[in-house]
């Protein structure tokens, strides 16, 4: 067993997996249709908070029973990957911006608890970002108030020598599409480093609005993307914006795979999830079936899928094993509140 452990730690070590994104404190509650209608929310969607959503956060806390969880898409995926890996600790590194406040302190504590090596850029102009997760049945409508998360600065954090050294230590990188609204230059610096050094850069479409309103930013990064994640709604929105002229998920995956790529040593892998239906990666993979009565909360299922996938990818496992781990992690998370998990995984 000791020899196996040594071999494993040689294969991947601390800071092998790097993530950068929007650290948010999730405020989760089961709500009713009237609440969604009042704030013009779709049952299953992700949006950025606007002026009309200002009172939503206060009403959510006053009217419903809320739970607080450390969140933000990329941070969720990195912590799930670390949970799946278990040892060594701090395989996952995370960069993002928080405020110098109570919520920021909670995020730091939560990252430490799950053994993620979080290095936050801390500033006092904006408070730590929050995300309202409004749950109805199997659906979740996410409203993100980025606040501090929107203040990440390449020159103030990513470019610092001690931080860039952590980027260089990694061999797999993951950034959710949500960060395209914050710091394109930071993403491009990391993506180009990965491409030039034949490392793996992974990205997520994240939400239809990213594909629609931030497509120029998205397409600047796309040539460096080795693994592209998305769900069927995001993939359909992406296909429409890219004039793929198809709604067939397998065909969308093929066309996304064929988009121009900087590092010709690797073919792009496209992974599209479809909820309880099969996952498409040119070939399809059946998902782990869960009895609906055991589904507590689908918030974080997509992040958990990515986290499970990355946990095997960083260990250089074959892609079918990556998908298997992804399905396992997502299946665990939907049976719990928020993006939370038991002490240890039971994945073989």
Given the residues 32, 245, 303, 320, the one annotated as active site: 303
Look up the domain containing 207 and give its range: 17-23+72-125+148-334
**18-27: average pLDDT:** 95
Inform me whether the pLDDT recorded for 295 exceeds 90. no
User: Would residue 212 count as lying in a domain?
Assistant: yes
* Distance of alpha carbon 110 from alpha carbon 116, whole angstroms: 9
95-128 confidence digits (pLDDT tens): 999 999 999 999 999 999 999 999 999 999 999 9
Neighbour tally for 99: CB within 10 Å: 22
Q: Is residue 270 assigned to a domain?
A: yes
Distances (CA, A) of 144 to 102, 178, 191, 341: 18, 10, 25, 22
Interatomic CA distance for residues 64 and 151, integer angstroms: 30
Confidence class for position 15, pLDDT limits 50, 70, 90:
very high
Per the annotation, the verdict on 303 as an active-site residue is yes
Q: What average pLDDT does the segment 86-93 reach? A: 95
Does 4 score more than 60 pLDDT?
no
Confidence of residue 337 (pLDDT cuts 50, 70, 90): low
Find the mean pLDDT for residues 236-265.
96
User: What is the pLDDT confidence band of residue 227, given thresholds at 50, 70 and 90?
Assistant: very high
CA distance 50 to 41: 12
pLDDT of residue 332: 85
What does the pLDDT average to over 195-203?
Answer: 96
**Residue 341: strand, helix, or coil:** coil
Degrees, nearest 5: CA angle 51-180-192:
165
Element (H, E) at 284: strand 283-285
Instruction: Lowest mean pLDDT of 55-69, 148-162, 212-226, name the range.
Output: 55-69
On whether residue 29 sits in a domain, the answer given is no
Q: pLDDT at position 331, please? A: 82
Question: Does some domain include residue 41?
Answer: no
- Give the whole-angstrom CA distance, residue 56 versus residue 38: 9
Alpha helices, DSSP H, located in the chain: 2-11, 33-38, 54-63, 73-85, 102-113, 161-169, 184-196, 208-213, 215-221, 232-241, 249-257, 301-313, 319-333
CA distance 93 to 95: 7
Residue 184 within a domain: yes
pLDDT category of residue 282 using cuts at 50, 70 and 90:
low
Q: Residue 105 maps to which CATH number?
A: 3.40.1190.20
| Residue 1 confidence (pLDDT) above 50 | no
Predicted TM-score (pTM) of the model is: 0.86
Say how many domains are in the chain.
1
| Mean pLDDT confidence for 142-161 | 97
* C-alpha dist (Å) from residue 90 to 33, 62, 94, 197, 224: 41, 37, 10, 22, 25
- Can you give the pLDDT at residue 115? 95
Question: Can you give the pLDDT at residue 6?
Answer: 46
Within a domain: 36: no
pLDDT in the model for residue 345: 84
Residue 141 lies in a domain: no
- Beta strands 129-136 and 139-145 are antiparallel
Question: What's the pLDDT at 238?
Answer: 98
Task: Tell me, yes or no, whether 136 lies in a domain.
Answer: no
């Amino acid at each position: 067993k000791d020899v196996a452990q040594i071999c494993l730690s040689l294969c991947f070590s601390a800071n092998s997996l790097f993530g950068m994104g929007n650290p948010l404190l999730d405020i989760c509650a089961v709500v009713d249709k009237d609440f969604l209608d009042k704030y013009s929310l779709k049952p299953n969607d992700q949006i950025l908070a606007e002026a009309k959503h200002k009172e939503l956060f206060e009403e959510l806390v006053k009217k419903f029973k809320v739970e607080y969880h450390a969140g933000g898409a990329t941070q969720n995926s990195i912590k799930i990957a670390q949970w799946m890996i278990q040892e060594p600790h701090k395989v996952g590194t995370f960069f993002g911006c928080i405020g110098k406040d109570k919520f920021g302190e909670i995020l730091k504590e939560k990252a430490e608890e799950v053994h993620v090596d979080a290095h936050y850029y801390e500033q006092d102009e904006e408070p730590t970002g929050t995300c309202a997760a409004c749950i109805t049945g199997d659906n979740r409508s996410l409203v993100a108030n980025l606040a501090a998360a929107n203040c990440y600065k390449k020159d103030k954090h990513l470019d610092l020598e001690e931080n860039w050294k952590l980027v260089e230590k990694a061999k797999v990188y993951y950034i959710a599409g949500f960060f395209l609204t914050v710091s394109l230059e930071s993403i491009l610096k990391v993506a180009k480093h990965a491409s030039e050094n034949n490392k793996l850069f992974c990205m997520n479409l994240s939400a239809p609005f990213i594909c629609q309103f931030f497509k120029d930013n998205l397409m600047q990064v796309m040539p460096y993307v080795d693994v592209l994640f998305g769900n069927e709604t995001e993939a359909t929105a992406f296909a429409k914006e890219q004039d793929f002229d198809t709604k067939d998920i397998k065909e969308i995956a093929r066309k996304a795979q064929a988009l121009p790529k900087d590092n010709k040593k690797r073919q792009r892998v496209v992974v599209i999830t479809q909820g309880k239906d099969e996952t498409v990666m040119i070939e399809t993979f059946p998902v782990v079936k869960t009895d609906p009565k055991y589904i507590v909360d689908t918030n974080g299922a997509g992040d958990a899928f990515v986290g499970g996938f990355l946990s095997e990818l960083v260990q250089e496992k074959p892609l079918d094993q990556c998908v298997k781990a992804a399905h396992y992690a997502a299946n665990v998370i939907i049976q719990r509140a928020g993006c939370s998990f038991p002490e240890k995984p039971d994945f073989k």
